[in-house]
Amino acid sequence: MSLTGKVALVTGGAQGIGRAVVQSLLQSSAKVVMVDLNKDLGEECKAQLDAEFGEGNCRFIECDVANGDALRGTFQNTVDQFGRLDIVINNAGITNEKDWEKTIQVNLTSVIKGTYLALEHMSKEYGKQGGTIINVSSMAGNTHTDTHVRWLSESVRLSGGLAHGNIFFLGCGCCVRNT
Give whichever of 50 and 125 is closer to ligand NAD, judged by the CB atom: 50
17, 104, 112, 152: residue in contact with ligand NAD (rule CB under 6 A): 17
* CB closer to ligand NAD, 123 vs 153: 153
Calculate helix-pair angle for 161-171, 148-159, nearest 10 degrees: 30
DSSP strand E in the chain: where?
7-11, 31-36, 58-62, 87-90, 131-135, 174-178
User: Which of 93, 165 has the CB closer to ligand NAD?
Assistant: 93
Q: Which is nearer to ligand NAD, 24 or 38 (CB)?
A: 38
Return the C-alpha torsion angle 57, 62, 65, 66, nearest 10: 180
In the chain, what is the straight-line distance between the N-terminal and C-terminal CA atoms, in Å?
20
Q: Is 152 in the site for ligand NAD (CB under 6 A)?
A: no
Among 11, 23, 155, 178, binds ligand NAD (CB under 6 A): 11
- 3 state DSSP class of 29: coil
Report the interface residues with ligand NAD, using CB under 6 A: 11-12, 14-18, 36-38, 64-66, 91-94, 106, 136, 138
